[in-house]
Amino acid sequence: MRLDGKVAFVTGGGSGIGKAGAKAMAAAGAFVIVSDRDGATATQTAEEIHDGGGRASSVALDMTDSGAVEESLRAAISHHGRLDILHSHAGIQIEGRLEQVTPEQMDASWVLNVRSHFVAARAVVPQMRTQGGGSIIITASNSGVQYDADMIAYATTKHAAVAMVRQIAKDYARDNIRVNALCPGFIDTPFNAGFERQMGGREKLEAYVSHAIPMGRFGSTDEIAAAIVYLASDASRFMTGTAFVIDGGECL
């Protein structure tokens, strides 16, 4: 699954799954533009890619700023002359049931978990169509194909992200633009903080994982990174509109 000659743009690439995916795509031969709201972490990821013999650049980018998202993607396309892969990964997890989540928190979830992906995909589709195709990977969650207790903002927006992916995929399949939703389950990163608070601490989260997930463990960022490379590469060239669930069987 090589990505030689490909140019990839990753959002939320400063840590966790985004970072692992950026490094894996670079190791497979892609030039990777790493973005993150925390520019220092994006730079750190790019430096680690360089240290490993790969090619990368970095940019500070707040995905809630639509104008900045559009400008960053335009700049990447202008500089490289193409964009083959967009991994729109940045997201937010706010726990709580209907009476516990404020309208402002629901709005914040929508802006980052749905609208930011819409803006990013909209910005790259014209270039991908012109160049004859591309791969858009939008991080949703296995919460986009099931329902989690007391997670109304998260589950609602992740289901919306999956629906949006399927609609874009249907609309642009003839342009050879593939669009898939990456749907991880419990991966051992700080992003699980919402679930950890909801369950009453790390120990209780670990107990949940050991009992509720058929494989009995967290997934690793490397396992998700391998899936990202697959979705980005020609190995998945006949795959579009899919909610690609990697969760150790939790949603079964």
Q: Report pLDDT digits (tens) over 179-214.
A: 999 999 999 887 777 777 877 888 888 888 999 899
HSE-CB at 119 with a 13 A cutoff on CA atoms is: 23
pLDDT above 80 (res 85) = yes
Listed in sequence order, the residues at least 6 apart from 79 whose beta carbon sits closer than 8 Å to its beta carbon are none
Q: Looking at 154, 172, 208, 230, which residue is catalytic?
A: 154
Percent of the chain with pLDDT over 90: 89
Q: In angstroms, rounded to a whole number, what is the distance separating the alpha carbons of residues 18 and 28? A: 15
pTM of the model: 0.95
Amino acid at site 77: I
Nearest to 22 by CA among 49, 60, 52: 49
Annotated catalytic residue 172: no
pLDDT above 80 (res 76) = yes
pLDDT above 90 (res 3) = yes
Report how far apart, in Å, the C-alpha atoms of 51 and of each of 19, 46, 47, 79, 152 are.
Answer: 14, 9, 6, 23, 41
pLDDT band (50, 70, 90) for residue 215:
very high
Average pLDDT, the chain: 96
The answer to whether 169 touches 236, Cβ cutoff 8 Å, is no
**7-246 CATH fold:** Rossmann fold (3.40.50)
pLDDT band (50, 70, 90) for residue 122:
very high
Domain boundary assignment for the chain: 7-246
pLDDT band (50, 70, 90) for residue 166:
very high
First-to-last alpha carbon distance for the chain, in angstroms, is 28
Average pLDDT over residues 27-32: 98
Residue with tokens 């998945």: 236
